[in-house]
Structure 1
Amino acid sequence: GREDLKRTQSTFTIEESALISDLKPSTHYRFRVSCINRMGISAYSWASEEVSTLDENTENNLLLTKMDRSSTYRILEHQHRLDEKSSISIDNVLHDYDKQDKFKSLGEKTVLKRDQNPWDLYKLIDELSSYGRTCIIRCSERATDSVRIIKITDKQDNETEEFNLLNLISHEHIITMLDAF
């Protein structure tokens, strides 16, 4: 890998901050973000606007002009929590991901289970999103406690079309349909 790539681990993807330290003085930087979760590694974000560090001889009293003390404290506290958890490296995350069972082999199809109650197999953790007549929830499988993301929709004309489309997609880094009711 490239030696100039630095990584930090984050616990949440919304309103996430990272304190970048040990930057060289009088140097220009751009930052990019990539995420790793059980779905895989995301593409890098667009590069940030270019920023430059202060000259070595510049007084540091200008450093916090755009952040109030509470924001600074919150970022430092958050970074400390991340540093305490950083014993889990990205290599470990990828290793754990590679050990996971692959759910569907190429050409394997999901069968529509019209006679089965999904709540016999899954238990609700929380609702992630709701729009129109569709709801996205996080559930755990009762048998294994594996976490799943589930889309619930009203029965509509396009349900068969969507089911058939999702049944064609089988890529562990994008989406895999496991069950349909």
Structure 2
Amino acid sequence: MIGKLTGKLLEKHPPQVLLDVGGVGYEVDVPMSTLYVLPHAGETASLYTHFVVREDAQLLFGFASRAERETFRQLIKVSGIGPKIALAVLSGMTADELAATVEREDAGRLAKVPGIGKKTAERLVLELRGKLAGTTALQAHASGLFAPPASTRDDVVNALLALGYNEKEANTAIKALPEDVSVNDGIRQALKSLAKV
């Protein structure tokens, strides 16, 4: 089992990165939440990994934190949830947001993730309840500090990345956006602020 990799980040091609560890290049599939926090190409990066061996492939999945990897492992234990859908869930929300969403039994929020239908969302809530406990989101939610999910901001960042901006530019552009902004208005405002730079 490959549990962690540390090396030079050679390439980022969402959802995959190429990590050079001692001269060996590892292709690692990562959720967008991990991709956002990785350094620039050429810099050193560390990923907690989950290795899957199938009859037709050997797949390596990487995560920025142990909590994210543990959440991924809990997701793929749910009937009908494979690694690709688990990555999609973690690309749509952080591990902490997922834990709080499950505890709130908010299947509607989960159903907004691509590849997750209403029935699958309800099954996720049912099967994951209590299994994602101990994360900071649950503690924050219990004390009333939980912020609403950042899905709109994530959509704006993804749109900017698709338009050719790098992650640093996209993340800088969304900082000034109001909390209740729509995706379309967010993209428009972010593009205006990037045009001024």
Q: Same fold (TM over 0.5)?
A: no
Name the TM tier (shorter chain): under 0.3
Scaled by the length of structure 1, what TM-score is found? 0.22
Task: Specify which structure has the bigger relative contact order, considering alpha-carbon pairs within 8 angstroms and separated by 6 or more residues.
Answer: 1
Select the structure that is richer in helix. Answer: 2
Scaled by the length of structure 2, what TM-score is found? 0.21
